[in-house]
Amino acid sequence: MKNNILFFLICLFTIVNVLDVATAQKDMLAGESNPLYILFGSIWVIYLLKIFLVIGLWLIYFKGGINTHFTYFMIILILIMGTFALSLGVYANIRALQTPGYAELVKEIPNEVKVKSYQIMITFVYLLPSIFSLLAFYLYEKSVKYTEIIKPLGGVYERNRNRNT
Domain assignment present for residue 76? The answer is yes
Does 142 map to a domain? Answer: yes
Taking only the tens place, the pLDDT of each residue in 111-155 is 888 889 888 988 888 889 999 999 999 999 889 888 877 766 665
In a domain, 156, yes or no: no
Q: What is the mean pLDDT of residues 43-64?
A: 92
The reply to whether 165 falls in a domain is: no
Residue 161 lies in a domain: no
Q: Please write the tens of the pLDDT for every residue from 27-39.
A: 677 777 788 888 8
Q: Which of 2-6, 27-31, 46-50 has the highest mean pLDDT?
A: 46-50
pLDDT band of residue 157 (cuts 50, 70, 90) is low
CB 32 within 8 A of CB 45: no
